[in-house]
Structure 1
Amino acid sequence: MTNLPKKLIHTLRAIKLEVDRYERSPVRVIINWFNAFLKDLFSAREIRLYGLADPQDGAKLIQRYVSKEMADRFYRKANPESAILSIDDKFVFTSLCLQHHLPTPKTYGIFRRGVITKLNGEVFHDFNGFKNFMHELEPGEYLLKPNNGMLGLGLSSIEIENQGNLIFEGEVVSLDDFYQKLRLLESTLPASSKGDSVDMDFEGLIFQQRIDNHPEIRKLTGFRMLQTVRICTYVTEENQIEILFAFMKLAGKEGLADAFNLGKTGNMLAKVDPETGKFCKTYAMDLQQGYFIPVARHAITQMDLMGFIVPYWQETRILANNLSLSFLPLRAVGWDIAITEKGPVVLEGNGNWVPVVPFDISIEKLRQYKLKY
């Protein structure tokens, strides 16, 4: 069977799924489906995910959502390849944040091929150097994350107890054991990434302070997992800053990473009003059906999600704006920002982002920026 018949069969199946889903106005469902697919370049998966074929609201949703295809074209043009390293390399990103006086979790060094390098350039060679580095760390919990990872994969933590004991992944380990485990992790992570989770050119593990959510966020979900806000900004040619969209990732279970990853993690997604910081709508993923479903209350705490306002929202907006100007010539970046008890802290910038919520700029600007035809 050639590709064309395969594509036609796939298309017909996708359309039938949507007609069966809504059980009314099949002609309008089909019209919406083809408008989204042909005009705005949404994939069949995106049309189902966002409900774009809905006979009642689909046409309005198509106006506010942006397809991944159009987003890819947009940020590839807006973000020069030569500047991407400044956000893709988390060690470099942290160094630049410090230079620009932008709040970021305290970073102690990077473990790369058995060698620790600190932000000030100090180097600790082999196991003896590693031992000296570890002895400098105070009791507490530290996060270890791949320097160029994504989707929260490859994260682990190490706790140093007051007595000096090390707890790594739930078990007490010696310094020598910990060093060997990091060497093993460094050697096996690239092979296990399969090219779509952590970059194949693996470049070390960052030792970073593990920070905690603002108490109101912890109260909302009941989980310690750090739950961050994603603010996607665009800096125009006149250096005016637009917030394209904002959302918050909410924990559905305990862990180290709040990555949404289209709901596969069990986490939820709350669209945030960029002006007020208030949740507009919260979504969970129906993995069986393959589309978003609205959620009014958190399943664990039963807290009202619609009434929640992100703490320190205006400070968070200011931080996103400062980041946007500090990392020029990158112009279209998704900033992941944690909200702590003391205020917002930036974790990373993403030059490659998925527009999983409606945009907050007008259809005219979407067309002006060529996010829509």
Structure 2
Amino acid sequence: MHFDNPERIKVFLKNPNKKNYLKICKEVLVLWVTKKEVPMYYFKHLYKREIKNYKDYLGTKEAAEIREGKKLHQLEFTSILCNKLNFSLYCERSNIPTPKLIGHNLGNHFFSGSEMRKINNKTELIAFYEAIFESTQLETLFFRPLSQYGGKGIFKLRHDNIEAKLESEYQNLINGNYLYNEVITQHPKLNAIHGTSINSLRILTYIHNGEVNIISSIFRLGTAGAVVDNTSSGGLFIGIDDKTETLKKEGYRNLEFGGEVLTKHPDTNFEFLGFKMPYYKEACELVKKATAVIPNRLIGWDVAITPTGPIIIEGNAHPDLFAADVAYGGLLKNKQIQRIKAFIK
């Protein structure tokens, strides 16, 4: 939480569910002394009455040490994970199921299959994508910038709206670097919760003594008709009970989007508690297989669930830990996080 963000401050001040100010001051002081940092992260979630175990949550420094720790990350592997084109090509070669790669561009050089075209104007760009739609018989392509995260820059291109969409996206494409995938078909049970976004699992893995371990899993949902489920774009996140493979009761929004705690999806009124995640075991096995192929010690995997099983959207070399921390109820009590902290000392 930053005091230069008035919306976050308003959410905290207006929340009727916060602890009394004396208790807040006491807990902040305790964290300040024990964590050796000003615990601004406390005001994202830990100020709420129901949070009794506030010491079990990661401090800002602790989370950064894990996310960026040199002992946990190896350049040869992070270079694959941090570039979506590298990742897609590598997974395709390694038989890891990912969205089918249709093409990509590096600035005004556009690639599809073995073909490369230098695009000089909108007419040529429209012709390039018309040829792709004709050859693939697809109706929609899903575009992602190669090196951006948090859902930034993502859009869909429909064949029936190609000219209008490229009118607005032309400069972004011609001056950027994108890949285009076949659109994922989402499992109908997940469509029932929110159908316009691909709602994904974020599964954290850690390699300990050569064995791939699952740290935690959350389920991320889009809202308000968004095509992405990222929490940084207004989406929700919900914890998953690993033993029952079901969603926990409460979903959370980041503070800058109101910080609500919800038991139902705000658009569809779908209740979270007890929803059994399709192909959850298979998703966990898939990320373990993928980690064996890209053996970075710590990875945050984004996994979509299709009608026939899981598919990996991307792997994150430096995954944000806040959502997992909240959904798990304090990652410092997690066995794998304890192992990581001991390893990076």
After TM superposition, the score normalised by the length of structure 2 is 0.81
After TM superposition, the score normalised by the length of structure 1 is 0.75
Q: Distance between the aligned counterparts of 1:240 and 1:357, measured in 2?
A: 21
- Which residue of structure 2 aligns with residue 244 of structure 1? 215
Is it true that 1:124 corresponds to 2:116 in the alignment?
yes
Q: Relative to 1, partners in 2 of residues 1:365 and 1:88: Cα closer, same or farther, differing over 3 Å?
A: closer
- Which residue of structure 1 aligns with residue 339 of structure 2? 368
Q: 2:91 aligns with which of 89, 93, 97?
A: 97
Q: Deviations over 1:211-257 (max 9, x none)?
A: 13211111123x32111110011111x11122222111112211221
- Which residue of structure 1 aligns with residue 55 of structure 2? 62
Q: 1:111 aligns with which of 105, 108, 116?
A: 105
For 1:12-27, list aligned pairs within 5 A. 22=18, 24=20, 26=22
Q: 1:167 aligns with which of 136, 161, 175?
A: 161
Q: Cα distance, 1:55 vs. partner?
A: 6.5
Q: Which runs of 5+ in 1 are unaligned?
A: 1-6, 8-12, 161-165, 189-201
Contact 2:251/2:261 (CA < 8 Å) preserved in 1? yes
Q: 1:260 aligns with which of 224, 227, 231?
A: 231
Q: Distance between the aligned counterparts of 2:21 and 2:201, measured in 1?
A: 37
For 1:174-193, list aligned pairs within 5 A. 178=166, 183-187=170-174
Q: Deviations over 1:275-326 (max 9, x none)?
A: 33211243333757x8744211222222221121211111111111111111
- Which residue of structure 2 aligns with residue 270 of structure 1? 238
**1:69 maps to amino acid:** K
Q: Distance between the aligned counterparts of 1:307 and 1:220, measured in 2?
A: 13
Tell me the SS of whatever aligns to 1:220: coil
Q: 2:201 aligns with which of 226, 229, 235?
A: 229
Q: Relative to 1, partners in 2 of residues 1:327 and 1:284: Cα closer, same or farther, differing over 3 Å?
A: same
Q: 2:178 aligns with which of 205, 208, 213?
A: 205
- Which residue of structure 2 aligns with residue 153 of structure 1? 152
Contact 2:39/2:60 (CA < 8 Å) preserved in 1? no
Q: Which runs of 5+ in 2 are unaligned?
A: 4-8
When Rg is computed on C-alpha atoms for both structures, the one with the higher figure is 1
Q: Distance between the aligned counterparts of 2:184 and 2:38, measured in 1?
A: 37
Contact 2:249/2:274 (CA < 8 Å) preserved in 1? no
Q: Distance between the aligned counterparts of 2:95 and 2:154, measured in 1?
A: 26
Q: Cα distance, 1:62 vs. partner?
A: 2.6
The percent of aligned pairs where both chains have the same amino acid is 16
Is it true that 1:29 corresponds to 2:24 in the alignment?
yes
Contact 2:140/2:156 (CA < 8 Å) preserved in 1? yes
**1:185 maps to amino acid:** N
Q: Cα distance, 1:370 vs. partner?
A: 1.1
Q: Distance between the aligned counterparts of 1:278 and 1:145, measured in 2?
A: 30
Tell me the SS of whatever aligns to 2:62: helix
Q: Deviations over 1:115-154 (max 9, x none)?
A: 2334x6x232235793654542313111111111211111
